[in-house]
Amino acid sequence: MTHAATIESSAYRRMERVIAHIDRHHERQPKLDELARVAGLSVFHFSREFRRWAGLSPTRYLRTVALSVAKQELDERGSVLAAAWAAGLSGGGRLHDLFVSFEAVTPGEYKDGGSGVRFHHGFAASPFGRIHAALSARGLAHLAFVDGSDNAALAQLKVRWPRATLVRDDEAIAALAAKIFIERRGEIRLAVSGSNFQVKVWQALLELGSRGPTSYSDLARAIGRPSASRAVGQAVGANPIAWLIPCHRVLRRDGGLGGYRWGVERKRTMLAWEHAASVRDLKSRPRAIRAGNQIAPVAG
């Protein structure tokens, strides 16, 4: 791991601790100096790092996750899931201008483990720690968060694509990461491998999750298998494309986080980052006022 990647990973871990602390104590709105202590930084350096990571000041972010928001949403809509979302798990809606197209690999490619397929793979920084990704001529086939060694991450790719040709290309993956997490616009093609059932779940997840929170039972109904929530959960856990196929947006029906392949604390932090992005986007819309649940332009 490079020195720059180590710094980025350390910054993410600090933000992960802070977001978990906010989630546990948001009812009392922790003070800035308390959050800085959790991060292990001075108030000045914490404020600067949080703003760089979230695009908002910590004080402004805290205001958006006030418990009163959850109570109001719960009273108005009677949905614990919606209340959890409103409380700051995420902002919902479209949070980027990426157009993500989805295509499953052929049954032959899936069965052959990628024989004859060439991947450019590598590592890059993201707001949620390092990623490992792999691109083929067909599109993005693998995107995972890395918590262990590079060799362990590479072994996970080889489990899914044991016969593929792998070419290390960190530059290509760094450009991909910038497109996904910084630019947040353009087109990305996904080329996933999985069973027919898994592919159906991932397609439903891409559709439902792009609109806001969803649940395992929502996904089961979407694929016409309302009694298959457990199997759907297993398919969600096998998702090969983190973030873009938004398995982090699947919550329990009671609004709880549930599990996550790359760690529940990372899931919490991802949802918080999305929430901050939605607040930033709302704030940046010119001359607009809130009208109910919609944005109404102000007459000139």
Q: How far apart are the first and last CA of the chain?
A: 53
Residue 247 falls in the annotated catalytic set: yes
- Cα radius of gyration (the chain): 20
Which of 65, 204, 236, 247 is labelled catalytic? Answer: 247
Listed residue (268, 299, 245) closest to 90, CA to CA:
268
The separation between CA 6 and the C-alpha centre of its own chain, rounded to angstroms, equals 21
Q: Please state, in angstroms and as integers, the Cα–Cα distance from residue 140 to each residue in 95, 105, 135, 143, following that order.
A: 20, 11, 5, 8
Rounded Cα distance between 244 and 236, Å, is 13
The residue with tokens 């197209």 is 101
Listed residue (215, 174, 172, 176) closest to 98, CA to CA:
176
Q: Please state, in angstroms and as integers, the Cα–Cα distance from residue 200 to each residue in 20, 65, 111, 114, 142, following that order.
A: 33, 34, 18, 21, 17
The residue with tokens 């929170």 is 213
Q: Are 128 and 141 in contact (CB under 8 A)?
A: no
Q: Are 210 and 94 in contact (CB under 8 A)?
A: yes
Q: Which residues are part of the catalytic machinery?
A: 247
